[in-house]
Structure 1
Amino acid sequence: MTNPFRRRLLLAGATFAAATTTGLARAADPEKLRIGYQKSSTLTILLKSRGELERTLAPLGVAVSWHEFTSGLPLLEALNVGAIDLSADVADAVPPFALAAGASLTYYALEAPSPTAQAIVVRKDSPITSVAQLKGKRVAFAKGAGAHFLLLEALAREGLSIRDVEPAYLSPADGRAAFENGSVAAWVVWDPFLAAVQRQAGARILTDGAGLSAYRRFYLAGSPYAARRPDVLTAVYGELQRAGEWVRKNPGPAAQWHAPLIGLDAATVEAANQRRSYRVQPVDAEALAEQQRIADAFTQAQVLPRKVVVADSPVWKPARLG
């Protein structure tokens, strides 16, 4: 007959062994890096399609899960609540809205300015030849987008304000329809929608962002994750730089690869890509200063609910830059 104490000892030993085995298995499981992206996130989607990021992160004990979003603000909201760890690029107008909502975000990279990748356009037969002639006219744009900021700056350069035009707050799809049926005099939009309306409808540019809006695209991280895993940010940053170099050196193949994913023809995508820098760089003081100008412009226009101080947000930099 087995001694009761011995039975308890054997049971405790088995329980400890099982717990130890489970613990070791869990320790061996890779940590998940959750990345949010959009269809416009060219470089991130390129990494996803090639599996290069997974290979780079494997020695760090990190696996990757990918999460698609329809637009930038929900992506950053998910980042703030901890549903994802890193965001792919978002347009420059997006972070101020997330910060106004109290998000704790860290800027970790940007794509160098691409000011010609957004513009104010009119139809090819329009009599309008200058931004000043938009006074009193109906102008379509997405409220709170970079296009909105571009319009504010373009009007200000002519001594006008948003009160001097009739805003039509429309999504890109609805803006294109309104533009083509003549219910708006002008449309403010970004690539690839800009390239599409130029190529397919002969739209004419009144002004692009040159000298008005730099149109940088920012990569962000949840601040707790950025503080905990700077090694992962270093790895992701390097892969993004390499992806950008490939797109710049291979414009044709890059467009052929990306076009089916966003539902456009390759020629339109290539035209759009020629206006986007795809140069991944550290976030610098000049970029943050424009983020503040965007935030201030939207606060003054009563688009943002409160004042945002961009300098309060952490900025990660590659170790070699200090």
Structure 2
Amino acid sequence: MFKKFKVSLLIFTAIMIGILSGCSSKTTTANTATGKNGNLTVNIGIQQSLGPLLIAKQKGWFEEEFKKVGVKVNWTVFQSGPPHFEAMAANRLDFGAVGNSPVIAGQAANIQFKEIASSSDGLKGNAIIVRKDSPLKTLKDLKGKKIAVAKGSSGFNVLYRALEKAGLKPGDVEIIQLQPDEAQPAFESGAVDAWSIWEPFVSLQTLKKNARILANGKSLNVYSPGFVIARTEFAKEHPDLVVRFLKVYEKARLFEKENRDDAIDLYANAKKIDKDVISYVLENNESLNLPISEEIIKAQQETADFQYSLKAITNKIDTSKVVDNSYIKKALKELKEEKTK
């Protein structure tokens, strides 16, 4: 099964490179500008996760802010991080927020993007869970079992690091590649024995279904950081819009932090999730909007090297090469100056 998994990842990488090559000489219709921003549409990707992007989307803050400079906003919903990079390679996506493994796979496939801010440390935001009546008690018990995980996601890295810690090889388990909307019913029905997944699914399963956590980033001492990303060409052509984007993102992050009850209500209404689950998610996975630290870059490099050793990625990469903290530093500086006026 592991051989199949590696082949699938190799095919995914090849597709990414092919898409990039096919699109490198093209300009996206949606992003063709007349003048500085005329007729420009900013394309933002969003997952099923809770966070500042969802707050800003529900409140229309990006639309409101970008309208000031004659720019429209288009949203695309993704099940997980990897599809963001397919869209970026095809010039159909300008911004997104993703986990650590997708950016590594994207960089290894030579997708042109930049990490422009750190959105979470991810220590407790990813976990391997089992059902309440599962006989599995330790990571070693996963041997021979079926484990659901989204290909190339942050859950992928947590799973493989957990197997390593347990002294198991990837071939010792049966990895079932499923996106969250497919994995959830498979997990709940018992079609798979365990699920390597992120928030809010971790809290939803543990609080409402009494699922148990076998391991998470904290117990494994593995960072699964989140990042705000931007398409490289877009950022070069419109650096002012990248800064503007991050300022809106910060507005939403502060709303979540300073108006917790209102944020919980917003998330509950948007996702039809119980408020106690949302409260637990926010405690486990604090939203950030900061420059990417050397500690996070180091953790990313360790993850990339680990995945390269497994041949999950076929190119050895330097994870610092996709980091660009200039936009977030400028955004936070401008916000600070605006606040003191």
Please, what TM-score do these two structures have when normalized by structure 1? 0.80
Contact 2:150–2:156 (Cα < 8 Å) also in 1: yes
CA displacement at 1:179 relative to structure 2: 2.7
Match for residue 26 of structure 2? none
Structure 1 position 127 matched with structure 2 position 135: yes
* Amino acid in the other structure paired with 2:222: S
Match for residue 185 of structure 1? 193
- Pick aligned residue for 1:285 from 281, 288, 294: 294
Structure 1 position 171 matched with structure 2 position 179: yes
Contact 2:44–2:96 (Cα < 8 Å) also in 1: yes
Match for residue 148 of structure 1? 156
Match for residue 248 of structure 2? 239
1:264/1:213 Cα in 2 relative to 1: closer, same or farther (>3 Å)? same
| Structure 1 runs of 4+ with >6 Å offset | 25-28
CA displacement at 1:237 relative to structure 2: 1.6
The 2-side partners of 1:33 and 1:122 are apart by 40
Structure 1 position 214 matched with structure 2 position 233: no
SS at match of 2:45: strand
Deviates more, 1:261-270 or 1:221-230: 261-270
Match for residue 36 of structure 1? 45
SS at match of 2:72: strand
Match for residue 280 of structure 2? 271
Structure 1 position 259 matched with structure 2 position 259: no
CA displacement at 1:102 relative to structure 2: 1.8
* Amino acid in the other structure paired with 1:91: G
* Amino acid in the other structure paired with 1:168: I
CA displacement at 1:58 relative to structure 2: 5.1
The 1-side partners of 2:106 and 2:52 are apart by 22
1:133/1:223 Cα in 2 relative to 1: closer, same or farther (>3 Å)? same
1:311/1:265 Cα in 2 relative to 1: closer, same or farther (>3 Å)? same
Match for residue 75 of structure 1? 84
1:136/1:226 Cα in 2 relative to 1: closer, same or farther (>3 Å)? same
Contact 1:111–1:280 (Cα < 8 Å) also in 2: yes
* Amino acid in the other structure paired with 1:67: W
SS at match of 2:284: coil
The 1-side partners of 2:39 and 2:181 are apart by 41
- Pick aligned residue for 1:89 from 97, 100, 107: 97
Over aligned residues, Cα RMSD in angstroms?
Answer: 2.7
**Max radius of gyration: which structure?**
1
SS at match of 2:124: helix
Deviations 1:63-108 (A, max 9, x none): 23122132332322222332232x2211211112222222111111
The 2-side partners of 1:304 and 1:298 are apart by 6
The 2-side partners of 1:49 and 1:140 are apart by 31
Structure 1 position 49 matched with structure 2 position 58: yes
Match for residue 4 of structure 1? none
Deviations 1:85-143 (A, max 9, x none): 2x221121111222222211111112131311221122222333221222333322223
The 1-side partners of 2:313 and 2:213 are apart by 28
The 2-side partners of 1:148 and 1:31 are apart by 36
- Identical residues among aligned pairs (%): 25
* Structure 2 stretches lacking a partner, 5+ long: 1-33, 334-341
The 2-side partners of 1:41 and 1:63 are apart by 25
Corresponding pairs, count: 295
CA displacement at 1:280 relative to structure 2: 1.0
Match for residue 30 of structure 2? none
The 1-side partners of 2:162 and 2:48 are apart by 28
1:153/1:212 Cα in 2 relative to 1: closer, same or farther (>3 Å)? farther
- Pick aligned residue for 1:66 from 46, 69, 74: 74
Contact 2:49–2:199 (Cα < 8 Å) also in 1: no
Contact 2:52–2:252 (Cα < 8 Å) also in 1: yes
* Structure 1 stretches lacking a partner, 5+ long: 1-24
CA displacement at 1:31 relative to structure 2: 4.3
Contact 1:134–1:165 (Cα < 8 Å) also in 2: yes
CA displacement at 1:304 relative to structure 2: 2.6
CA displacement at 1:209 relative to structure 2: 1.0
SS at match of 1:93: helix
Please, what TM-score do these two structures have when normalized by structure 2? 0.76
Deviations 1:239-275 (A, max 9, x none): 2122112112333321221233334333323322221
Deviations 1:253-309 (A, max 9, x none): 212212333343333233222211112111222222333333333333333343333
The 2-side partners of 1:79 and 1:36 are apart by 10
